[in-house]
Structures are given as structure tokens and as C-alpha cells.
């Protein structure tokens, strides 16, 4: 594996260091609650992160058709774009999950993406011509995966605060 690719994959993987803190002390009644009509619930942020990671890894790094990878609840197309998610009530299948189940799914799905990404045999500078115009190289796509996780972790803390919760170490 290209050393530059491995370095970025490990940086992205490191973004999960705080995953346990995101859920520590989270009350079940706040997991699926939107703090305002235009803000996602915590479970929706998690599902969106899962879907986005799967999309980046499966589609944009390995060029796999969605029919080959969209096989779990949180990888559903529904969770790909937050504005669309907000046009309807929270997905009922997602709303059935507990805090522990959402936490476990996030880590399990990330592990799947991480292990898939470790099989990448392209250099960091390899570019794609597939229409994702802002992120054409392997390096760019892996960086987006890492930044995206961190961005939504911050939003999850913010949602918890908006719902009146204290969060550990934040």
C-alpha cells in the first residue's frame, strides 16, 4: 500500500477516537429527537456519516455499484443528503434503535469501510474522472472522509447541548 494512502487512512480512522464520548451518557429520549425542525437528530447524523463513508469508500475509491454495498439500514440512500432527510419524519427503522445499537452500528460500519480501504492499491495522487469534481484524487477523497466524521461529531455534541445534555470532555 502507498505510504501516503496508509497515512491518510489512519488519520481518518483516528477520527473515531472520540466515538465513545459522543454517546457517553446520551439519554435514549434524545437519540432520535430533532432539536429544531431544520436540524438532524443524533441518530440521523450517525446514519448520514455511515452512508457517506460507504459512498466515499465503495463508490468513489473502489468504483463499486451501489447494489454491491447498500445492504444495511444506515447505508440506505435516504441518509445520503441531510436536506432530503429533513423533508420527512425520522426513518422509523432508525427510530427503533437504542443508543447502544446506534453506537455499535457506527463502529461496525466504520470498521467495514476502514478494512475495505486498507485494500486500496492506488497511490494518494491517483486521480479519478468520475464526476466528483471537487475531490478527484485518492488523497482528497480520504481527507473528505476524515473531515466529514469530525464535522458531524461536532454537530452531535451541539445537538446534545441544544437538547439540554451535558457532554463529557466537551
Task: Return the CATH number at 97.
Answer: 1.20.120.450
Mean pLDDT of the chain: 93
Structural domain includes residue 122: yes
- Whether residue 167 is contained in a domain is answered as no
Task: Report d(CA 46, CA 102) in Å as an integer.
Answer: 7
- Specify if 170 maps to a domain: no
State pLDDT tens for residues 107-140.
999 999 999 999 999 999 999 887 677 778 999 9
The answer as to whether 70 is a domain residue is yes
Query: What pTM does this model have?
Result: 0.94
- Residue 168 inside a domain? The answer is no
Note whether residue 169 is domain-resident.
no
> d(Cα 99, Cα 39) in Å, to the nearest integer?
19
Structural domain harbouring 35: 3-162
138 in a structural domain: yes
Distances (CA, A) of 97 to 36, 46, 150: 21, 12, 23
Query: Is 29 domain-assigned?
Result: yes
23-44 pLDDT, tens digit per residue, is 999 999 999 999 999 999 999 9
Q: How many whole angstroms separate alpha carbon 89 and alpha carbon 116?
A: 32
Number of structural domains found in the chain: 1
Amino acid at each position: 500500500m502507498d505510504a501516503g494512502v496508509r497515512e491518510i487512512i489512519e488519520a481518518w480512522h483516528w477520527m473515531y477516537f472520540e466515538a465513545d464520548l459522543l454517546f457517553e451518557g446520551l439519554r435514549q429520549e434524545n437519540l432520535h429527537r430533532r432539536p429544531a425542525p431544520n436540524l438532524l437528530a443524533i441518530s440521523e447524523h450517525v446514519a448520514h456519516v455511515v452512508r457517506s463513508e460507504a459512498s466515499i469508500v465503495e463508490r468513489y475509491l473502489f468504483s463499486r455499484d451501489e447494489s454491491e454495498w447498500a445492504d444495511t439500514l444506515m447505508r440506505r440512500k435516504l441518509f445520503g443528503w441531510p436536506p432530503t432527510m429533513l423533508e420527512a419524519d425520522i426513518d422509523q427503522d432508525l427510530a427503533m434503535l437504542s443508543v447502544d445499537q446506534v453506537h455499535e452500528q457506527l463502529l461496525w460500519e466504520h470498521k467495514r469501510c476502514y478494512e475495505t480501504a486498507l485494500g486500496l492499491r492506488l497511490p494518494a495522487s491517483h486521480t479519478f474522472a468520475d464526476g466528483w469534481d471537487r475531490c478527484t484524487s485518492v488523497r482528497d477523497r480520504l481527507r473528505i472522509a476524515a473531515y466529514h466524521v469530525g464535522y458531524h461529531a461536532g454537530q452531535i455534541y451541539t445537538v446534545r447541548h441544544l437538547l439540554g445534555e451535558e457532554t463529557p470532555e466537551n
